[in-house]
Amino acid sequence: MSGSRILWGQVSVVLLMIILSWWMATQWVAWKLGFQPQLGQP
């Protein structure tokens, strides 16, 4: 196996984890702010 081979499975898992963590952080902040109407529809 060459050292320059891109492991697309691992790259996609890491990107998915980043996206999910951003989404969860956004939901957590909205929850802590009490889903204020200024935030838009939940």
Mean pLDDT in order along the chain per 10 residues (42 residues): 77 96 93 77 64
How far apart are alpha carbons 10 and 38 in whole angstroms? 38
CB 11 within 8 A of CB 2: no
Q: What is the pTM of this model?
A: 0.66
Ramachandran region of residue 35, left (φ > 0), alpha (ψ -120 to 50) or beta?
A: left
Quick check: 35 and 42 in contact, CB under 8 A?
yes
